[in-house]
Structure 1
């Protein structure tokens, strides 16, 4: 069904784009803006189609398109690995700029997490890109507001509950990974709704909406044990390090979680402070300690 929606969307978006390209009229910039939006969405559609067409392998587990919509900036839920049968299930919550047009990057991240979990010893893993919310599309002012996280928390909570309800056989070990603004989404959900998960990983967040890990709720985890299931990371050369936009940074030891701190986000020693902007997007590159640790946490193992 969702694959049919994907094909229909490609046909519809392509037809509108080609029509606008063929037309020649001045509109004060609306046409150019609409063409940019159409091309962006088509890039996302093509990225999803390409991933769906890849033969299953260790590096590219079988994909499942769970939700697809072009409404607004687009909404997508795609899993690599079957979440109904996998022993370990990871829900990845993306951050600022998440939209249909950014699916190629998101898919690369969930594939990398799945491979890392397999290398850590996970017998079967499903990693889901949960892009079913309206994410901020600018650093300033949108990413400085909590309203996007507040608008997402109920849906994320229901989705995680659904993963438990539809899982077959023994209960899976479930992990939520919130990246950048996605860390706030995961944190606000854990605070106000509760995360139906065994572990949560906050990656490069600007605070997660609470002052201490014990204010977070993980279903099935005792309140006095939550800190042992809250994992955090932010690299020294990440430009958001030290910022307290949505509360204290979860990587601060006083926050009460388990922090693992790579000196630099990338394993490449040439990525120094001058490359700090790139550092924020490098946590999931092959060889990064963050990626290794997320794989271990997904497999139910402690981080290094």
Structure 2
């Protein structure tokens, strides 16, 4: 009975503490954005030279890629013009078409908070304005990259905050820019980044807001895991290398649930409340699993338990979990893992370039 009581207390603590990048602010329940993109009904009603278009709800990224490979330039351009939200979010579509479609989709919203995403030098891989909005941006040359990394962020990440001012090297875009720079790219102009490494800032799922039940349970992570798995399949369908997943805070819960469904070469969890697995082996992935936790990261105060669906389980940075350790002794706080000059950023860059062993 006493042990059961301690478990209840621990579960309550998990509800009160687990979160992403927002510190101690409370958050309301979020509805996960799932299913095919806006505009799907009109897309299904259209054709290309009499051929039915691939159904966004059922077609695999490989089927989408084959379909677009069979179209001429005029048909492709027409689909981009007529269905930008579908083309821009459809995994398997050639990358230049997605970038152009998303420029059109962002501009069509007419919302000032998204206006910067439509700039000619931005490579927006996905844009979905539903809910708080989802967005994915490429730093580097994804079409010709020898290595690809995907930043999977935690709480309080969405399309509206994608370009918001943050502390340097934090948030999905800050982390992506820092990693791009550390691997030979540039923070000043993403379009001139070293073509050997491309980095995707992927806010492609509905994240929790602040600290609350959403951050302590796996509902949003499960929805995000399905979307992350489809992203990696889409990268494979267009010939991109197997990606490295860099998973921050609640994003590591997403990566843990997606692990066995992706072809990732490496999965890196940092500032993690748990990955919903007791060990790295339990993730059932062929990827190498890495973990980092800084000495002043408040995530260390999160109880590593799972009870009645609450909490995310074992600490990935613990020896018992079995992940490869990433040095993080000089990391400050919960969001300092990509700060220039840190041991963690140097190690992340080596993993991203395929040089770490």
Using structure 1 for the length normalisation, give the TM-score.
0.72
Task: Give the CA deviation at 1:252.
Answer: 0.3
Higher relative contact order (CA 8 A, sep 6+): 2
Aligned residue in 2 for 1:167 = 239
Task: Give the CA deviation at 1:47.
Answer: 4.8
Task: Give the CA deviation at 1:127.
Answer: 0.6
Task: Give the CA deviation at 1:82.
Answer: 2.7
Aligned residue in 2 for 1:21 = none
Which digits, 9 at most, give the CA deviation of each residue in 1:31-84, with x for residues without a partner? xxxxxxxxxxx1xx24535xx455xxxxxxxx4211112210001011112323
8 Å CA contact 2:141, 2:195 repeated in 1: no
8 Å CA contact 1:242, 1:249 repeated in 2: no
Aligned residue in 1 for 2:96 = none
Aligned residue in 1 for 2:160 = 101
In the alignment of these two chains, the number of paired residues is 235
Task: Give the CA deviation at 1:176.
Answer: 0.6
Aligned residue in 1 for 2:276 = 209
The equivalences for 1:265-284 within 5 A come to 265-266=331-332, 279-284=333-338
| Counterpart Cα distance in 1 of 2:177 and 2:275 | 25
RMSD: 2.0
Aligned-partner SS, 2:179: helix
Alignment equivalent of 1:114, drawn from 176, 180, 193: 180
Task: Give the CA deviation at 1:173.
Answer: 4.8
Aligned residue in 2 for 1:143 = 215
Which digits, 9 at most, give the CA deviation of each residue in 1:84-123, with x for residues without a partner? 321000011110011112213422211111111228xx86
Aligned residue in 2 for 1:232 = 291
Using structure 2 for the length normalisation, give the TM-score.
0.62
8 Å CA contact 2:242, 2:263 repeated in 1: no
Aligned residue in 2 for 1:196 = 263
Structure 2: tracts of 5 or more residues without a match: 1-100, 164-170, 186-193, 305-310
Structure 1: tracts of 5 or more residues without a match: 15-41, 55-62, 267-278
| Counterpart Cα distance in 2 of 1:143 and 1:186 | 14
Aligned residue in 2 for 1:38 = none
Aligned residue in 2 for 1:292 = 346
| Counterpart Cα distance in 2 of 1:252 and 1:8 | 47
Aligned residue in 2 for 1:59 = none
Aligned residue in 1 for 2:249 = 180
8 Å CA contact 1:117, 1:294 repeated in 2: no
2:230 matches 1:158: yes
Cα 1:142/1:47, change in 2 over 3 Å? farther
